[in-house]
C-alpha cells in the first residue's frame, strides 16, 4: 500500500507535502519522495526509510514551488529498490512529469511487454512506470488527452496524482479501489489518500474522488476531465476500513473508527463469550475491541502494550524481519491478564504468526483462558489490488478450518466476523471489494490470465 499527496497553489508546497506524507506514514514505510515545480524547474528528493528520515529542513527548503507531488511507499509490485521509490519522474515532450500511485495494476506486465516491444526503456520494476510511458508515448493531442488515453489502458487499482509542470491530475480507477480525497487550503488545493492528511495541513475536506473520476487542478481551479469508463458496481477495498486506514480518517464518507467499532459490536453478537477482560492488539484493533467491549459489557483493558518505535511488522518485506518484529513489538500487562479469562481482539488474521506469539505471551503471564476474536472474516486469497498480502499458501485462513486455526494458535476459542456481518456494518459505502476474504476479484487479473503473473499473488522482489 502507499500514501499519495498532491499540492497545488499553496506556498512552500514541499513542506505541505511533507506533513501530509508524515500523516500517511502508516500506508508505507519503505521509501518516500517529493517532487516540486516552481514555474520553471522541477526538483525531486527521494530516499529509503521513514518520511522524517528521508527529508531534512535543508532538503525541504531546496524543493521550491507551490506545486508538489509526494509518495510514501511499501512494495507491492516491484521490490524496495530505490529505483522504485516514487514519485516517478520523467521529462517528456510536454514538460516535467511526476507521478505517485497507490494501488496495483493487474495488467502491468502485459503493458510492459508491449511497451518494451515498442522500444521503451524500463528503469524500475514498479508497475506504475507503465503509466509514465503510456502518457509520454500517447498519440493523443495535448496533455489532458494523453493522460486520459494512458489511464484508460490500465486495469486494476489506481489512485494516482500526476504533475505535468504546474498542472496536477488526480484520478481514481473505475472501481474506486483506493481512497483519494480532495481538499482546499486557502486558494490552493490538496489531494491525498486519506482525510488525516488534510487535517494535519488544516485543509478543508471538499469531497472524495468518485470511481473513474479524473480531475485537473491548476490556477486555483478544479476541473473534471472525461470520466473513465465506470465499472458497475464500484468496489472500494473493505480492507482499508478493516486494517489499513487510520481510524481518524473518513473513507468514502465512512468514519474508519465507527466502521471498526461496528465490526467489533457485530463480532460480539456473532461470537459471544464469557470473559473478564477485552484487550486489543494495538493499535489497529483498538476500535474493534472497544466495539466488542461495548456490545458484550465485558470491560476493555489495556492488556497489551505496543512499542511504537518498531514499524508495522508486515511492511518489512522479508520473513526474518517480520518474526523478529512481532516479538519486539508487543508486551502483555501481567496485572491485567494473570488469572483472568481474556478476549483478545484483532482486526484481521493473515499469516497467524503475530497472533500465535501473542497467545503464547498471554499464557506466559498467567491468562486463565484466551479467546481470540477477529474483526473480519478469514483472509483466504491474495490481493492483486495493492494490499501487501502474502501469497495464498502463507495465509493461515486459506485452507484450514476454523477449529484447525484455533488449534494452531493455541486458543480456547476463536471467532471471526462473518462476511455478511462485515459488509452490512458499513453498507452505506458498499458494495465493496472483498476479494481477500471471498476470492471474488472485481477487476480482471489480466497478467494472471495471460500466464504472466502467478495466481498465488503479486510477486515481490
H or E element that contains 89: strand 88-92
Kindly state whether residue 129 participates in binding ligand AMP, applying the rule CB under 6 A.
no
Kindly state whether residue 351 participates in binding ligand AMP, applying the rule CB under 6 A.
yes
Residue 419 main-chain phi, psi, to 5 deg: -60, -45
Strands laid side by side in the 88-92 sheet: 88-92, 95-102, 159-164, 167-172, 214-218, 221-224
Cis amide linkage into residue 431, ω under 30° from 0: yes
* One character per residue 227-246, x = contact with ligand AMP (rule: CB under 6 A): ----------------x---
Task: Please choose, out of 7-15, 171-179, 201-209, 353-361, the segment that lies near ligand AMP by the rule CB under 6 A.
Answer: 353-361
* One character per residue 355-374, x = contact with ligand AMP (rule: CB under 6 A): x-------------------
The residue whose Cβ lies closest to ligand AMP is 314
Q: Report in angstroms how near the CB of residue 346 gets to ligand AMP at its nearest.
A: 5
Kindly state whether residue 350 participates in binding ligand AMP, applying the rule CB under 6 A.
yes
Kindly state whether residue 286 participates in binding ligand AMP, applying the rule CB under 6 A.
no
Active site residues: 2
Place of cell 516517478: 88
DSSP per-residue string spanning 20-58: HHHHTGGG--SEEEEEEE-SS-EEEEEEES-HHHH--HH
Kindly state whether residue 72 participates in binding ligand AMP, applying the rule CB under 6 A.
no
Contact indicator for 383, 389 with CB cutoff of 8 Å: yes
450: three-class secondary structure by DSSP = coil
Query: 201: Cβ–Cβ under 8 A, 6 or more apart, which residues?
Result: 16, 19, 20, 183, 185, 190
Q: Which among 109, 103, 72 is positioned nearest to 384, based on CA atoms?
A: 103
DSSP per-residue string spanning 233-301: S---BHHIIIIIS-TT-EETTEEHHHHHHHHHHHHHHHS----SEEEE-TTTTHHHHHHHHHHH-PPB-
Task: Please choose, out of 31-39, 60-68, 159-167, 386-394, the segment that lies near ligand AMP by the rule CB under 6 A.
Answer: 386-394
Task: Please choose, out of 165-173, 181-189, 215-223, 341-349, the segment that lies near ligand AMP by the rule CB under 6 A.
Answer: 341-349
Nearer to ligand AMP, 295 or 346 (CB): 346
Nearer to ligand AMP, 130 or 289 (CB): 289
Kindly state whether residue 352 participates in binding ligand AMP, applying the rule CB under 6 A.
yes
Report helix angle 353-364 to 402-409, nearest 10.
50
How far is CA 193 from its chain centroid? 9
According to CB under 6 A, which residues from 162 to 191 bind ligand AMP? none
How far is CA 130 from its chain centroid? 20
Task: Please choose, out of 22-30, 164-172, 286-294, 383-391, the segment that lies near ligand AMP by the rule CB under 6 A.
Answer: 383-391
Which residues are registered as beta bridge partners of 34?
45, 70
Kindly state whether residue 387 participates in binding ligand AMP, applying the rule CB under 6 A.
yes
Contact indicator for 102, 159 with CB cutoff of 8 Å: yes
Q: Which among 131, 45, 44, 144 is positioned nearest to 94, based on CA atoms?
A: 144
State the Cα–Cα distance between residues 328 and 144, nearest whole angstrom: 49
What are the b/e assignments for 89-99, b being 16+ CB within 10 Å?
A: bbebebebbbb
Q: Report in angstroms how near the CB of residue 416 gets to ligand AMP at its nearest.
A: 12
Kindly state whether residue 314 participates in binding ligand AMP, applying the rule CB under 6 A.
yes
Among 109, 349, 361, 411, binds ligand AMP (CB under 6 A): 349
Q: Report in angstroms how near the CB of residue 49 gets to ligand AMP at its nearest.
A: 17
Task: Please choose, out of 51-59, 87-95, 211-219, 348-356, the segment that lies near ligand AMP by the rule CB under 6 A.
Answer: 348-356
Nearer to ligand AMP, 1 or 35 (CB): 1
Size of the site for ligand AMP (CB under 6 A): 19
Among 16, 249, 284, 287, binds ligand AMP (CB under 6 A): 284
Among 389, 405, 417, 445, binds ligand AMP (CB under 6 A): 389
Kindly state whether residue 127 participates in binding ligand AMP, applying the rule CB under 6 A.
no
Among 30, 194, 240, 346, binds ligand AMP (CB under 6 A): 346
Kindly state whether residue 75 participates in binding ligand AMP, applying the rule CB under 6 A.
no
Nearer to ligand AMP, 110 or 346 (CB): 346
Report helix angle 256-270 to 286-296, nearest 10.
50
Grid cell listed for 152: 484508460
Among 312, 329, 371, 373, binds ligand AMP (CB under 6 A): 312
Task: Please choose, out of 39-47, 57-65, 89-97, 384-392, the segment that lies near ligand AMP by the rule CB under 6 A.
Answer: 384-392
DSSP per-residue string spanning 351-386: SSHHHHHHHHHHHHTT-SEEEEEESSPPP-S--SSS
Name the site residues for ligand AMP (rule: CB under 6 A). 243, 281, 284, 312, 314-315, 346-355, 387-389
Amino acid at each position: 500500500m502507499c500514501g499519495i499527496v498532491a499540492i497545488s497553489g499553496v506556498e512552500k508546497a514541499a513542506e505541505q507535502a511533507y506533513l501530509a506524507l508524515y500523516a500517511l506514514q502508516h500506508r508505507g514505510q519503505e521509501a518516500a519522495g517529493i517532487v516540486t515545480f516552481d514555474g520553471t524547474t522541477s526538483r525531486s528528493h527521494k530516499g529509503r526509510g521513514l518520511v522524517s528520515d528521508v527529508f531534512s529542513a535543508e532538503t525541504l527548503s531546496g524543493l521550491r514551488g507551490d506545486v508538489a507531488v509526494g509518495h510514501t511507499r511499501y512494495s507491492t509490485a516491484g521490490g524496495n529498490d530505490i529505483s522504485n521509490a516514487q514519485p516517478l519522474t520523467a521529462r517528456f515532450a510536454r514538460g516535467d512529469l511526476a507521478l505517485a500511485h497507490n494501488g496495483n495494476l493487474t495488467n502491468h506486465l502485459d503493458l510492459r511487454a508491449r511497451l518494451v516491444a515498442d522500444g521503451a526503456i524500463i528503469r524500475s520494476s514498479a508497475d506504475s512506470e507503465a503509466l509514465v510511458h503510456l502518457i509520454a508515448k500517447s498519440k493523443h493531442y495535448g496533455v489532458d488527452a494523453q493522460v486520459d488515453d494512458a489511464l484508460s489502458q490500465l486495469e486494476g487499482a489506481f489512485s494516482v496524482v500526476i504533475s505535468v509542470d504546474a498542472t496536477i491530475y488526480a484520478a481514481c480507477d473505475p472501481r474506486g479501489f483506493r481512497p483519494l480525497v480532495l481538499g482546499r487550503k486557502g486558494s490552493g488545493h490538496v489531494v491525498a489518500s486519506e482525510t488525516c492528511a488534510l487535517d494535519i495541513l488544516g485543509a478543508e475536506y471538499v469531497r472524495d474522488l468518485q470511481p473513474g473520476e479524473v480531475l485537473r487542478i491548476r490556477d486555483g481551479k478544479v476541473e473534471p476531465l472525461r470520466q473513465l469508463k465506470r465499472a458497475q458496481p464500484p468496489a472500494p477495498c473493505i480492507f482499508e476500513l478493516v486494517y489499513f486506514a487510520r481510524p481518524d480518517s473518513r473513507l468514502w464518507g465512512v468514519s474508519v473508527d465507527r466502521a471498526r467499532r461496528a465490526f467489533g459490536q457485530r463480532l460480539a453478537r456473532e461470537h459471544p463469550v464469557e470473559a473478564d477482560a477485552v484487550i486489543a492488539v494495538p493499535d489497529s484493533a483498538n476500535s474493534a475491541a472497544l466495539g466488542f467491549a461495548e456490545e458484550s459489557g465485558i470491560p476493555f483493558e489495556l492488556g497489551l502494550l505496543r512499542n511504537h518505535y518498531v514499524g508495522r511488522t508486515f511492511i518489512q518485506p522479508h520473513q526474518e524481519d517480520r518474526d523478529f518484529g512481532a516479538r519486539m513489538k508487543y508486551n502483555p500487562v501481567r496485572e491485567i491478564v494473570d488469572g483472568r479469562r481474556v478476549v483478545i481482539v484483532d482486526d484481521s488474521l493473515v499469516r497467524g504468526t503475530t497472533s500465535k506469539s501473542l497467545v503464547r505471551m498471554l499464557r506466559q503471564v498467567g491468562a486463565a483462558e484466551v479467546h481470540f476474536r477477529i474483526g473480519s472474516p478469514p483472509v483466504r486469497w491474495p490481493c492483486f489490488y495493492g494490499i501487501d498480502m502474502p501469497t495464498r499458501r502463507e495465509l493461515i485462513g486459506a485452507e484450514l478450518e476454523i477449529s484447525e486455526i484455533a488449534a494452531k494458535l493455541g486458543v480456547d476459542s476463536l471467532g471471526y466476523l462473518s462476511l455478511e456481518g462485515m459488509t452490512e456494518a458499513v453498507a452505506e459505502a458498499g458494495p465493496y471489494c472483498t476479494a481477500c476474504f471471498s476470492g471474488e476479484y472485481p477487476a480482471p487479473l489480466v497478467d494472471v490470465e495471460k500466464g504472466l503473473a502467478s495466481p498465488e499473488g503479486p510477486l515481490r522482489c
